[in-house]
Structure 1
Amino acid sequence: MTTSEQPLQTISAFSRAVGLSTSSIRDYGAIGLLVPAEVHPASGYRYYADAQQRRAIWIRRLREAGLDLDRIRTVVDAEPQDAERILDDWLAEIDARAAAASQVAEDLRAELRAAGGASPARTCRVRVVVEAVVAAIQQVMRACSREDDSFATVLLEADSGRLSITATDRRLLIRRSVPAVTLGDAGRFCARPDELLSWLDALAPGLCEFVIESSDARKPGGDIPRSMLLDADGVPIAVPSRIDPFPSPERLIDVADVPLARAALQRAGAEALLSDATTANLQLEFADGTARLISEKATLTGRSNGETLRLRVARSPYATAVQATIGDQLTCTIYAEPRHIAWTAPSQPDFVALATYLPA
């Protein structure tokens, strides 16, 4: 459908482009926060303009960071100076809550140590938006293995003001991070995505609080350190801990060399090419400022910079990586050591998909 000025997107296409569920888009429309550009008078179908994507992405990112809808509405509609004032006040509130929680935790630890009752367990208290965690799990779980139960899981890592969710089948690794308030030690917990989603679906929307508790103590008869989820009151949550086989995506990025090359590609074109391809491998070429993703049926071109390269990439993991991304644009970055390609999206800086490649 088009208006006189520009084509319009269906709610499903708009949802994929901005990373919001269709139900959230409808809810935001009902309260006047994200109103459709057009509603079909007979069918009631909603249509959205490309120009609305920026607003929708900021709504998603602010909501994931924990800002309430009333203030989100004010921020996205306000003059710049008013929006900055609201954001400054919000950040000051977060800092005050974090400082108060940190002080309480330190006081309690001191009392436990003085009483000789300190626990050997390490704990990380996490405060995060439920919907953001659900969306992140649903996005990364595409990389869960369907053949190996050891990799049919997702990893939660909480540290330094964020909660990162990772999945891998050993050919492809996808990670998404969401803003969180984290207190205490770094936390790491591995579980099946369906079990995590079942727990999260039972929670009220908005902010939730939970604790990742881990210990270096070994399970009887085993060699896997204990790790468990607790609710805010310290009661165990019925999500079983699974064996943690994950590498650290942070470590993979940290040890990477300076990129060999980088390219910008259209997501829709890449998805179409990968869906239509039938061979197991594709070619990815970088030369003269142009990147080319080549199948036996089509070629997709985009802007590039860096070295001249010709690579062989496996179709299946790259198709999954592209399907998992959000937005119209993709960026692929080539690293020599370790030998992998990082797929990212400008509209979602907290997302990365890593897959290996071979020289052509």
Structure 2
Amino acid sequence: MPDDELMPIGAFARRTGLTASALRFYADSGLLRPAQVDPVSGYRYYGADQVTRAAALRRLREIGMPLTAVETALDAEPDDAARLIDEHVAKVCEDAAAVRRKAASLTSSLTSSLTETPGLPIAVVQGPVLADAIEQVLTATVREPDIPVLGALRVEATPEAVTLTATDRYRLATRTLVPAEAASATWAGTVDGDQLRAVTQEIRRSTLVRAEATPHALRLRTADREDRHCRLLPEEFPDHRLMLASLPEATTRVAVSKALLLRALEEHPGERITLRATRHGLHVLPAAEPASTGAALTATVTGQDLRISFELTTLYPAVSTAIGPDLLLDLRGPDQPGTIRSADRGDLTTLAMPTEPGRTPSARTDHAS
């Protein structure tokens, strides 16, 4: 290879995003040998035709693929390389799930050492129902280290009902459950959302779950499994009751098939979506093209004609987790939270904050906090 087609290791490192030390390591391991090594100085030189392999090597290592698998993937045909990547990702996900389960068990053990005092019985709920409710409501959470309650679940229990609530400031989801057995206590607490997610599968396999409150945790007890403790957060939960009480009356109500609306959202190509409700039905439009006809859905619309826009990541979870085949959208105008709930069962309700087309997500007003 002529010298003018070779790059010294420093230049090759800058071009490929790999450090010089990494290139030396990959050369010694046989994954990416230099095209030429000066026999006197030991300087390493690489060819332009090695850039593609080096970039692929870097990206495979960035997703944590082990060296032996990287070598196989680099030398494989495209279809085989894609399969190897998929297998690696599946294993990473399985390992992460196992870590979450072990972490939940460890956290439960550590927390239980602080909660030896008898717990206050607050509710007995059917396990599958409770697991579904936790997963549905937790879709309205977000991980923000500085505001941990935005990733948490607010639990409020009375003898008549157990209410679960979560909010990320742009969405608020709440679901009310009827206890299988009435408890005499009234209690409220904010529970770590990640720890609840980690125990939902165990809860789902239990006929009944007995919830007890301790000073530091919510204890979940089942007949044939180890008790689970989910940490209580000391931070104050947003005043969602005040927000709900201050909502104006809906000006537009839309009854629409959940399946039809979900399909329209899934086929929508953009980050933002506009709903146009008229007496003729519901149109799902690209937010950036207000004159577009979009997807026309059969719907029953009462009240005022309305055009309202949402972030797709805000609206889709609210629609997908709703219960039953039909939805009611209670809309209050383009700058007020919209309510998404089941047409036949209103015990799961989600509020979604609209956005103005053209605004970035960070520019939205925090109406739900």
Normalising by structure 1, we get a TM-score of: 0.54
How far apart in 2 are the matches of 1:294 and 1:124?
Answer: 49
- For the residue of structure 1 that corresponds to 2:169, the secondary structure is coil
**Code of the aligned partner of 2:171:** L
Q: 1:311 to 1:123 in 2, by over 3 A?
A: same
Q: Which amino acid aligns with 1:229?
A: L
Deviation at 1:249, TM superposition (A): 4.2
Q: Which runs of 5+ in 1 are unaligned?
A: 1-121, 214-225
- 5 Å matches for 1:175-254? 175-180=174-179, 181-195=182-196, 197-198=198-199, 201=202, 205-213=206-214, 227-230=216-219, 238-244=229-235, 246-254=237-245
C-alpha distance in structure 2 between counterparts of 1:298 and 1:203, whole Å: 37
Give 2:263's aligned residue. Answer: 272
What's the CA shift for 1:250? 3.9
Q: Kindly indicate which of the two structures has a greater share of residues assigned to strand.
A: 1
Q: Counterpart of 1:169?
A: 168
Q: Secondary structure at the match of 2:314?
A: helix
RMSD (Å), alpha carbons: 3.4
Cα distance, 1:332 vs structure 2:
0.5
Residue in 1 that maps onto 2:158: 159
1:311 alignment partner in structure 2: 308
Residue 176 of structure 1 and its aligned partner are, at CA, apart by 1.8
Give the paired residue count. 227
Label 1:184 to 1:284 Cα distance change in 2 as closer, same or farther (>3 A). same
Distance, in Å, in 1 between the alignment partners of 2:265 and 2:204 is 37
C-alpha displacement at 1:185, in angstroms?
Answer: 2.7
Which amino acid counterpart does residue 259 of structure 1 have in structure 2? Answer: A
Larger radius of gyration: 2
Structure 2 residue aligned with 1:321: 318
What runs of 5+ residues in structure 2 fail to find an aligned partner? Answer: 1-118, 222-226, 358-369
Relative to structure 1, is the Cα distance of residues 346 and 307 closer, same or farther in structure 2, using a 3 angstrom cutoff? same
1:331 is matched with which residue: 325, 328, 331? 328
**Residue 283 (structure 1) aligned to one of 259, 274, 294:** 274
Give, in whole Å, the separation in 2 of the partners of 1:279 and 1:231: 41
Q: What displacement does 1:286 show?
A: 2.7
Pairs within 5 Å for 1:130-141: 130-141=127-138
Which letter does structure 2 place at the counterpart of 1:299? A
Distance in 2 separating the partners of 1:194 and 1:292:
39
Which amino acid is the alignment partner of residue 206 of structure 2?
P
Q: Mapping of 1:118-129 within 5 angstroms?
A: 125-129=122-126
Distance 1:353 1:203, change over 3 A: closer
**Does the 8 A contact of 1:264 with 1:304 survive in 2?**
yes
Going from structure 1 to structure 2, the CA distance change for 1:242 and 1:323 (only over 3 Å counts) comes to: same
What is the alpha-carbon distance in structure 1 between the residues aligned to residue 128 and residue 204 of structure 2? 10
Q: SS of the counterpart of 1:198?
A: helix
User: 8 Å contact 1:292–1:302 — kept in the other structure?
Assistant: no
TM-score where L is the length of structure 2: 0.53
1:259 aligns with 2:250: yes
Q: Any idea what the Cα deviations from partners look like across 1:177-215, whole Å, max 9, x if unmatched?
A: 2112242233223222444652871797233333225xx
Q: What whole-Å deviation, never above 9, does each CA across 1:43-98 have from its counterpart, x for those lacking one?
A: xxxxxxxxxxxxxxxxxxxxxxxxxxxxxxxxxxxxxxxxxxxxxxxxxxxxxxxx
Structure 2 CA distance for aligned equivalents of residues 339 and 301 of structure 1: 24
CA distance in 1, matches of 2:264, 2:220: 45
Distance 1:249 1:304 in 2: 28
Q: Which amino acid aligns with 1:228?
A: A
Kindly indicate whether the alpha-carbon contact (under 8 Å) linking 2:128 and 2:205 is maintained by their aligned counterparts in 1: no
Distance in 2 between residues matched to 1:358 and 1:139, nearest whole Å: 23
Q: Which amino acid aligns with 1:251?
A: L
Q: Secondary structure at the match of 1:131?
A: helix
Contact kept in structure 1, 2:276 and 2:305, CA below 8 Å:
yes
CA 1:196–1:294 in 2, change beyond 3 Å: closer, same or farther? closer
